[in-house]
Amino acid sequence: MTRQTHRLNGTGRRLDRSKPISFTFDGKRYGGFEGDTLASALLANGVRLVARSFKYHRPRGIFTCDPHEPSALVQLRSGARQEPNIPATMVELYDGLEAASQNRWPSLRYDLLSVNQLFSPFFAAGFYYKTFKWPAKFWTGLYEPVIRRAAGMGRLSGSIDPDTYEKIHHHCDILVIGGGAAGISAARAAAQSGARVTLIEEHARLGGFDGTGLEQDIAELEALVNVRIMPRTMVFGWYDNNTFGAVEQVSDHLPVPAAHQPRQRIWKIVAPQVILATGAHERSLIFGNNDRPGVMLASAAERYLRDYGVRPGSRAVIFTTNDTTAGLAKALGAAGVTVAAVADARNGDEIETVHGRTAVTGVTLRQRDGSRRTVDCDAVCVSGGWNPAVQLLAQRGQKPRWSDGLQAFLPQEMAGAEFLCTGSLAGLEDREDCQAHGRMAGEVAAQRFAAPDSADLASYHSYLEANEARAASFAYFETSAGKSKKFIDLQNDVTAGDVSLATREGYRSVEHVKRYTTLGMATDQGKTSNIHGIAAMSKALDKPMDQVGTTGFRPPYRPVSLGALAGRSRGKHWRPILRTPLHGWVEDKGGVFIESGLWHRSQYFPKPGETMSQAISREVQAVRSAVGFCDVSTLGKIDLQGPDAAAFLDRVYSNGFAKLPVGKSRYGLMLREDGIVMDDGTVSRLAEDHYFITTTSAESESVISHLEYCHQVLWPELDVAFADAGEDWAGTALAGPRAREVLARIAPELDVSNAALPFLAARECTILDGVPARLFRISFSGELAYEIYVPSPYGRPLAEALEREGADFGITPYGVEALDVLRIEKGHVSSELNKFTTAADLGLGMMMSKKKDFIGRALSSRPGLTDPDREVVVGLKPLDPSHSFRQGAHITARGAPLAPENDDGYITSSAWSPTLESHIAIALVRRGQERLGEVVEIIDPLHGEDPVPATIVSHHFYDPENARVRS
């Protein structure tokens, strides 16, 4: 284990020196203490080089002490818990931590891809756009493969994440975002009114940049019972109705989460009043080789000294534009670090360039008289002022305003807005000012919550106005001399020259320059670079900063893991699993399940030694020759009642229902407003004002939503009520020539004769000695058939009774595969309702009433939907019955060349028909009904199969006269 050569003795307020920690970086073991971050521990061990930049693979070190670190991104852990692109500044050290550098090969110090620097003239702004153009053949053969291989920085493990994630909803009266001096004061003041206050801080501890002297305030805040403090939590998004998204790092600071402990937790927070105390980000300065390891923000150097007892080097140069670095110079001296020079841009001094490659070895200073001198050093501490963290506000569409006095973009206060801004975010620099104004913001928020119109904002606003009026920050962003590269975006290697080139090539919008150069598109989202890009544009375009403006900011504020966003919705929890009331019975019978949408449906029931295709054929033949039963509980079921129910149905369906007799069912077709078929199903009239509707399984939710819209928006005057009854009823289809005999046994009190219960009859009755049931003589198979619905708890008893009472007739359970074969043989459409077909396409044009209006009627007559050249439903039979078809295969005229213009349609459903002893298919074919009897070719270029000759036939393969369903 290496010695902590840069660790100071007896300092570091965040450290517990009684608890030493061992960790590894790039396989080498180092030591630290509890309270360290990975960044502070690496610096303590004298490690400067920690990363490589994205494009040029230039050496990079630790630049900040905050979450917006652009350079020191590392890979954490190994195995399934491996996680890339994590700022070393935010990794809390724990014993056994494994970290590795990334975006380098074969090693961090000797990265062969650093040769990219030699080709930097070719990688200037927009280089990847330019490779799209010329020469074209280079794109697929060279450019694209190279760019794809180079894309990304870290690497995922490829294994399933073993950790868990949670989501939680939270409501409070006042939300305070930011736990620095202003946020603490605001939360205390707001809580004193009795309001429920939530304070969110992204670091592990409250206090902000310098928490010294705030210990008593923090203790008093923690003691308040109406205050929730959420450390290690980052607000990443501000959404409508004052809804905030936040992610809490629950156990990222532990080697492995405890049992049942999530790794991260997403919070959805709603608050009527919000106080933003998000602080400010220190900005760098732009000078030659400003990206070398050892160049660091001044505030970061000060925090490493104070909080972690780590000196940034032995000899330091300070480059500044403001007075906030005065404390750093004293702190460096007290820590034994020689301050070799202070270059103050206000006095005309500046750093022209940095010397060294993998570490800073010195700088060239350009003094006010134009002379230059070289200063030996191993650390450069820079401060170009502070940028208020306006990103969350900008997510709500608010454009920040430029302040010449503060030389920064500030939030725009909006009259009557539900938010307040305080602290460094509002342009305040002095801690006492931040605390005083924070108290004002807390008091105003509490007044607003109690009585929205009673709050007095005069003092709150005047405090900020007075601060801005006396501000006189120095306007300086970039060194004026030097030939070395000057980097603006450290992660993406965007230089000042790139921005200048973009403006010369015609880009004037800050949004366009961002995308052309990739400026601000790194993991820090431009928090250390955007202001300098705007300044470079201002200079190149000769436009003031406020006219250049800022880019938009979208959530997330910082990267959020996909695991946290998914929460527990992963694997089998990704979406709910729906099981029918017969699920357990199917399991006991050895049925195989298939996922159909959210449902687990019985696919087929194999017998010992049977293949899937053999089992399906046996089930089909049983239905055709004897009797079978199938679970149809997944069908959508809607109960509709009311005196205007018939009128409502007439408007929703294309065919009529006003004259449907009580005790009868009818097939119904529902169109969208654009004339395309939305769904089909059955409507049964149980009483004058009572209907029972079934829909397809896939569209049950969309149909009920559509009906709600029709009732609430289109025709609220109609007196109807309806409910989704999908889970209330278990459904079973009983089909086959002997179905009536089985029905008679389970419903002995009901007359099931053809005269008493004809085709499309609907009855409410009792079965199984008193179980209430709804019985419909409806067939999807083409056989004599019934659909039997019983309350869900009776679904399994019904299946058991059918199996028992039908044994004498050879009853066979069948699954959705056999059901699909039966409906294809019969020519019923299902897959053909694909959101693109019309009623006429499906051969159902006669169901569009000419005597009434209905949704979709007007637009269904558009020329494009009535074009005689449209693809319409037909059947296909191969010339050789053994030749199979694939769903999705295309149809061409026989002998036509394989070309898009010769594509005449495609197969929508296909199956082996044991009844016809042939493969058959339903297809959508151009002018199909005019081409019955024509031999065409079925081609499948995707699978490279030989064309199959087939004859276009009617899609009603089986019993086209409908004799069997009426028998």
Annotate 301-337 with three-state secondary structure.
HHHHHHHHCECCCCEEEEEECCHHHHHHHHHHHHCCC
Residue 13 forms part of a structural domain? yes
The CATH number of residue 291's host domain is 3.50.50.60
Residue 430 forms part of a structural domain? yes
| Per-residue model confidence (pLDDT) at position 121 | 61
Instruction: Please state, in angstroms and as integers, the Cα–Cα distance from residue 508 to each residue in 386, 438, 693, 806, 813, following that order.
Output: 25, 39, 59, 79, 70
Asked if 745 and 671 sit in the same domain, the reply is yes
Domain boundary among 497, 521, 543: 543
Percentage of the residues of the chain whose pLDDT score is greater than 90: 75
Residue with tokens 């289109």: 714
Q: Is the pLDDT of residue 315 over 60?
A: yes
Q: Is the pLDDT of residue 473 over 80?
A: yes
CA distance 413 to 398: 9
pLDDT digits (tens, 9 = 90+) for 559-611: 999 999 999 888 778 778 899 999 999 999 999 999 888 899 999 999 999 99
Asked if 731 and 873 sit in the same domain, the reply is no
Q: Is the pLDDT of residue 852 over 70?
A: yes
Residue 298 forms part of a structural domain? yes
516: its two tokens: 């052309």
Give the domain range for residue 27: 1-159
Q: What is the mean pLDDT of residues 338-347?
A: 95
Residue 336 forms part of a structural domain? yes
Percentage of the residues of the chain whose pLDDT score is greater than 70: 96
Q: Is the pLDDT of residue 118 over 70?
A: no
The CATH number of residue 117's host domain is 3.10.20.440
The CATH number of residue 514's host domain is 1.10.10.1100
Cβ atoms 739, 769 nearer than 8 A = no
Name which of 486-495, 857-866, 930-939 the model is least confident about: 486-495
Three-state secondary structure of 138-177 = HHHHHHHHHHHHHCCCCCCCCCCCCCCEEEEEEECCEEEE
**What band does 469 get if pLDDT is binned at 50, 70 and 90?**
confident
Q: Is the pLDDT of residue 1 over 80?
A: no
Cβ atoms 640, 693 nearer than 8 A = yes
Give pTM, 2 decimals.
0.78
Helices 458-470 and 431-450: angle between axes, nearest 10 degrees: 150
What SS3 state is found at 614? helix
Q: Is the pLDDT of residue 82 over 80?
A: yes
pLDDT digits (tens, 9 = 90+) for 671-709: 999 999 999 999 999 999 999 999 999 899 999 999 999
Name which of 178-192, 290-304, 529-543 the model is least confident about: 529-543
Asked if 140 and 123 sit in the same domain, the reply is yes
CA distance 796 to 581: 6
Domain boundary among 384, 410, 440: 384
Residue 549 forms part of a structural domain? no
Q: Which helix (H) or strand (E) holds 65?
A: none
Residue 331 forms part of a structural domain? yes
What SS3 state is found at 818? helix
Q: Is the pLDDT of residue 656 over 90?
A: yes
pLDDT digits (tens, 9 = 90+) for 767-781: 998 999 999 999 999
CA distance 355 to 377: 9
Q: Is the pLDDT of residue 119 over 60?
A: no
Tell me which residue of 441, 501, 264, 300 sits closest to 383, measured CA to CA. 300
Q: Which helix (H) or strand (E) holds 722?
A: strand 721-724
| Per-residue model confidence (pLDDT) at position 231 | 96
**What band does 134 get if pLDDT is binned at 50, 70 and 90?**
low
Residue 316 forms part of a structural domain? yes
Asked if 877 and 848 sit in the same domain, the reply is no
DSSP string, 724-784: E-TTTEEEEEEESTTHHHHHHHH-TTS--STTTS-TTBEEEEEETTTEEEEEE---SSSSS
The runs of H, that is alpha helices, within 607-721 are 612-625, 645-652, 700-709
Instruction: Please state, in angstroms and as integers, the Cα–Cα distance from residue 767 to each residue in 293, 571, 665, 734, 773, following that order.
Output: 83, 41, 20, 14, 7
Which residue has better confidence, 45 or 398?
45
| Per-residue model confidence (pLDDT) at position 493 | 87
Asked if 227 and 266 sit in the same domain, the reply is yes
| Per-residue model confidence (pLDDT) at position 552 | 85
Residue 653 per-residue DSSP state: B
Q: Is the pLDDT of residue 843 over 90?
A: yes
162-201 burial: b if 16+ Cβ within 10 Å, else e? ebbbbbeeeebbbbbbbbbbbbbbbbbbbbebebbbbbbb
863: its two tokens: 């020329």
| Per-residue model confidence (pLDDT) at position 150 | 66
Q: Is the pLDDT of residue 664 over 70?
A: yes
Calculate the CA dihedral of residues 671, 673, 675, 678 and round it to 10 degrees: -30
Average pLDDT across the chain, whole number: 92
**What band does 213 get if pLDDT is binned at 50, 70 and 90?**
confident
Asked if 266 and 403 sit in the same domain, the reply is yes
**What band does 126 get if pLDDT is binned at 50, 70 and 90?**
low
97: its two tokens: 């931590």
Tell me which residue of 774, 657, 644 sits closest to 715, measured CA to CA. 644
Q: What is the mean pLDDT of residues 859-883?
A: 95
Domain boundary among 499, 527, 543: 543
Cβ atoms 499, 488 nearer than 8 A = yes
Name which of 76-80, 128-132, 890-894 the model is least confident about: 128-132
**What band does 416 get if pLDDT is binned at 50, 70 and 90?**
low
Q: What is the mean pLDDT of residues 342-355?
A: 95
Which residue has better confidence, 504 or 640?
640
Q: Is the pLDDT of residue 504 over 60?
A: yes
Cβ atoms 42, 51 nearer than 8 A = no
Tell the burial category of 659 from Cβ atoms under 10 Å away from its Cβ (0-12, 13-18, 19+).
exposed
Residues listed for the chain: 967
Q: Is the pLDDT of residue 624 over 70?
A: yes
Q: What is the mean pLDDT of residues 422-426?
A: 94
**What band does 410 get if pLDDT is binned at 50, 70 and 90?**
very high
Name which of 508-522, 748-762, 925-939 the model is least confident about: 508-522
Asked if 643 and 717 sit in the same domain, the reply is yes
Which residue has better confidence, 504 or 671?
671
The one-letter amino acid at 537: M
Q: Are strands 372-376 and 264-270 parallel, antiparallel or unpaired?
A: unpaired
Residue 560 forms part of a structural domain? no
Q: What is the mean pLDDT of residues 12-24?
A: 93
Asked if 144 and 209 sit in the same domain, the reply is no
| Per-residue model confidence (pLDDT) at position 668 | 96
- What are the φ and ψ backbone dihedral angles of 7, each rounded to 5 degrees? -90, 130
Sign for the pseudo-dihedral over CA of 709, 710, 714, 715: negative
Asked if 655 and 691 sit in the same domain, the reply is yes
Residue 674 per-residue DSSP state: T
Asked if 329 and 343 sit in the same domain, the reply is yes
Q: Is the pLDDT of residue 746 over 70?
A: yes
Tell me which residue of 50, 99, 90, 83 sits closest to 67, measured CA to CA. 90
Sign for the pseudo-dihedral over CA of 529, 530, 532, 536: positive
The CATH number of residue 967's host domain is 2.40.30.110
Q: What is the mean pLDDT of residues 823-848?
A: 95
Asked if 81 and 175 sit in the same domain, the reply is no
Asked if 33 and 50 sit in the same domain, the reply is yes
Number of domains, the chain? 6
For residue 811, how far is the Cα from the chain centroid? 48
CA distance 388 to 425: 4
| Per-residue model confidence (pLDDT) at position 207 | 87
| Per-residue model confidence (pLDDT) at position 139 | 66
pLDDT digits (tens, 9 = 90+) for 221-271: 999 999 999 999 999 999 998 999 999 999 999 888 899 899 999 999 999
| Per-residue model confidence (pLDDT) at position 117 | 65
Q: Which helix (H) or strand (E) holds 435?
A: helix 431-450
| Per-residue model confidence (pLDDT) at position 206 | 92
